[in-house]
């Protein structure tokens, strides 16, 4: 008995000591994320969940996007652009290795872009790189890309998850065994449960603070709350605003509220009557009370927008006053358009909470001016097929989460069917312009056209609401690009 007690006491003391040691220098982080990625290859899928895990952690591109959305050198230390803006020459970093030990050089860059542009490419964003006409390896650490036209945001596009550099030896297996050059190497993926990454010792750049990071997949908000409270996970990058109050006044946690690239819009089928009538779209814009929608949908987190453009972007111009909330004006415009008694339409809602909730609020705001909405809930796959691919819808609600996606409005075949040659010409000029001042003037003009044309109902910019252990630092507050970058995250006392 006595012996057992002693042994027990010893074990207890030992485990306390071990726990104490672990407490002093934690270098591991466990992050809860809502969605599990279907695969881990960011060059063969568009799911944000892929970038959350691997972007800038496992994989890197020639450039990288920082917390403020600016372009920084990545695998390319420096670059020169020819005077005509068509030839980019990149100097690559020396001594970089992939996680499987193979050396990174210009041949890998060539392979990456050949693969994106190849005949059986399944890159979700091939169109960004399609102006590349030739890829030439000058020497193992120099590569030259030639374009057939100027692209103002080419360096940004090179920093996207779609253009991370992969190796010919491992590219085919990246979906389940991703091998990149980043500061963290992939260790294991317990499907349905978590992905584990480990700091890569021979990493070429500044050493990272963490030794290990796990992404734990927890879809349910209540469950995620419990896991945070129980200390089973250390944080999450985007937590439901409904339950944020639990953590706001808890000193063990910090809540980081920042911006995202998600413009939430009331997508409108511009090809289908009565929405092909500008007066009807203006009336709908006047009928929207954005602040009420934000308060009801995201508990006040989110910024009203008057055009499909992110408020934190340097080119942003506030156009929320173009058609202010004014039900009287809405009714008058409907009468002018020939709908004195309003009309009926359907509103197809994908399964994201912001869409389902704001759908109900908009339905009541529209009812006040005589527009009767029938709400139809659809699944994601069904939304993609009905609304997006077949354009079979009147109205829908969706957040467009890609950075700088205003160019979609220049594509007449895009699902909301906006066909304005003047705007298309403007975007082409913008894409081909490199000068910052001129780019800004053009971007402001583009936003103004879209605001005046009321192509869609512009609702709000989604906020990013992270919840983290109070002792963690270095998380990105804003999300200028899809990802959850571990580079600067560290534990402090």
Partner 1 sequence: MIAFTLRRFLGFAATLLVAALVIFWLLDLLPGDPAQFILGINATPESVARLRVQMGLDAPAHERFLAWIWGMLQGDFGMSYTQRAPVAELIWARLAVTLPLSIFAMVISIVVGLPLGILAARRRGKLLDTAIMVTAQTGVAIPNFWFGMLLTLLFAVTLRWLPPGGFTPWNEDGGAAFRGLILPSLALALPQASILARVMRTALVDVTGQDYIRTARAKGLTMGEAVWRHGVRNALLPVLTILGLQFAYLVAGTIIVENVFYLPGLGRLIFTAISERDLILVRGATIILIVTVTATMLLTDIAYALVDPRLRERSAP
Question: Rule CB under 8 A: which residues touch partner 1?
Answer: 36, 38-39, 44-47, 120-127, 175-176, 190-194, 216-220, 222-223, 226-227, 229-232, 351, 379-382, 384-386, 388-389, 398, 400, 402, 405, 408, 415
User: Is 8 or 380 the residue whose CB approaches partner 1 more closely?
Assistant: 380
State the minimum distance, in angstroms, from the CB of residue 283 to partner 1: 27
User: Is 138 or 222 the residue whose CB approaches partner 1 more closely?
Assistant: 222
Angle between helices 353-367 and 278-287 in degrees, nearest 10: 100
State the minimum distance, in angstroms, from the CB of residue 376 to partner 1: 13
CA gap 395, 127 in Å, rounded: 27
State the minimum distance, in angstroms, from the CB of residue 413 to partner 1: 8
Contact indicator for 90, 76 with CB cutoff of 8 Å: yes
State the minimum distance, in angstroms, from the CB of residue 277 to partner 1: 26
State the minimum distance, in angstroms, from the CB of residue 61 to partner 1: 18
Euclidean distance between the first and the last CA atom of the chain, given in angstroms as a whole number: 41
State the minimum distance, in angstroms, from the CB of residue 175 to partner 1: 4
DSSP class of 232: S
Assigned token pair, 89: 């020459």
Q: Which residues neighbour 130 within 8 Å (Cβ) at sequence distance 6 or greater? A: 117
* Helix/strand number for the chain, H first, E second: 14, 19
State the minimum distance, in angstroms, from the CB of residue 141 to partner 1: 31
Q: Which residue has the tokens 């527009």?
A: 371
State the minimum distance, in angstroms, from the CB of residue 218 to partner 1: 5
User: Is 379 or 428 the residue whose CB approaches partner 1 more closely?
Assistant: 379
User: Is 134 or 223 the residue whose CB approaches partner 1 more closely?
Assistant: 223
User: Is 87 or 408 the residue whose CB approaches partner 1 more closely?
Assistant: 408
CA gap 478, 72 in Å, rounded: 17
User: Is 127 or 139 the residue whose CB approaches partner 1 more closely?
Assistant: 127
Contact indicator for 298, 354 with CB cutoff of 8 Å: yes
Assigned token pair, 13: 């003391």
If we measure between CA atoms, which residue out of 266, 260, 225, 229 comes closest to residue 242? Answer: 225
User: Is 194 or 487 the residue whose CB approaches partner 1 more closely?
Assistant: 194
User: Is 253 or 323 the residue whose CB approaches partner 1 more closely?
Assistant: 253
User: Is 131 or 342 the residue whose CB approaches partner 1 more closely?
Assistant: 131
Angle between helices 353-367 and 290-298 in degrees, nearest 10: 140
Q: Where does 148-219 show beta strands of DSSP type E?
A: 184-190, 194-199, 212-217
State the minimum distance, in angstroms, from the CB of residue 206 to partner 1: 32
Q: Which residues neighbour 441 within 8 Å (Cβ) at sequence distance 6 or greater? A: none
CA gap 389, 420 in Å, rounded: 20
Contact indicator for 244, 465 with CB cutoff of 8 Å: yes
State the minimum distance, in angstroms, from the CB of residue 223 to partner 1: 6
Residue 15: phi and psi, rounded to 5, are: -70, -35
* DSSP codes, 276-306: TSHHHHHHHHHH--HHHHHHHHHTT-SEE-S
User: Is 322 or 396 the residue whose CB approaches partner 1 more closely?
Assistant: 396
């Amino acid at each position: 008995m006595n012996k057992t007690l002693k042994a027990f006491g010893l074990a207890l003391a030992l485990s306390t000591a071990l726990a104490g040691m672990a407490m002093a220098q934690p270098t591991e982080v466990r992050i809860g994320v809502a969605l599990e990625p279907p695969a881990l290859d960011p060059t063969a899928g568009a799911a944000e969940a892929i970038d959350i895990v691997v972007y800038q952690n496992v994989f890197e591109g020639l450039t990288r996007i920082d917390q403020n959305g600016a372009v920084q050198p990545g695998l390319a230390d420096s670059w020169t652009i020819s005077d005509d803006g068509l030839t980019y020459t990149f100097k690559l970093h020396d001594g970089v290795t992939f996680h499987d030990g193979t050396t990174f050089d210009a041949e890998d860059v060539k392979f990456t872009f050949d693969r994106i542009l190849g005949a059986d490419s399944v890159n979700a964003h091939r169109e960004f790189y399609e102006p590349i006409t030739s890829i030439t390896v000058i020497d193992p650490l120099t590569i030259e890309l030639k374009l057939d036209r100027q692209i103002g945001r080419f360096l940004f596009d090179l920093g996207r998850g779609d253009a991370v550099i992969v190796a010919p030896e491992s590219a085919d297996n990246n979906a389940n065994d991703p091998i990149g050059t980043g500061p963290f190497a992939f260790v294991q993926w317990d499907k349905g449960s978590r992905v584990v990454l480990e700091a890569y010792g021979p990493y070429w750049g500044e050493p990272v603070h963490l030794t290990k990071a796990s992404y734990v997949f927890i879809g349910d908000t209540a469950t995620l709350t419990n896991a945070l409270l129980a200390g089973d996970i250390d944080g999450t990058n985007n937590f439901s605003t409904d339950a944020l109050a639990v953590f706001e006044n808890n000193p063990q946690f910090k809540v980081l509220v920042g911006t995202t690239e998600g413009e939430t819009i009331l997508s409108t089928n511009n090809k289908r009557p009565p929405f092909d009538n500008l007066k009807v779209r203006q009336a709908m814009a006047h009928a929207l009370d954005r602040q009420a929608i934000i308060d009801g949908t995201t508990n006040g987190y989110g910024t009203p927008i008057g055009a499909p453009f992110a408020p934190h972007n340097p080119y942003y111009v506030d156009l929320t006053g173009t058609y202010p909330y004014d039900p009287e004006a809405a009714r008058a415009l409907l009468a002018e358009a020939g709908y004195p008694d309003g009309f009926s339409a359907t509103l197809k809602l994908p399964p994201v909470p912001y869409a389902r909730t704001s759908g109900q609020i908009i339905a009541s705001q529209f009812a006040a001016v005589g527009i009767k909405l029938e709400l139809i809930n659809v699944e994601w796959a069904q939304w993609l097929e009905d609304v997006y691919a077949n354009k079979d819808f009147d109205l829908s609600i969706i957040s467009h989460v890609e950075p700088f996606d205003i160019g979609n409005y220049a594509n007449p075949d895009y699902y909301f069917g906006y066909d304005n040659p003047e705007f298309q010409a403007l975007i082409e000029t913008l894409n081909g312009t490199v000068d910052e001042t001129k780019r800004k003037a053009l971007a402001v003009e583009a936003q103004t056209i879209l605001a005046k044309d009321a192509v869609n109902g512009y609702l709000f910019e989604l906020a990013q609401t992270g919840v983290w252990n109070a002792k963690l630092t270095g998380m990105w507050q804003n999300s200028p690009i899809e990802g959850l970058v571990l580079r600067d995250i560290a534990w402090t006392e």
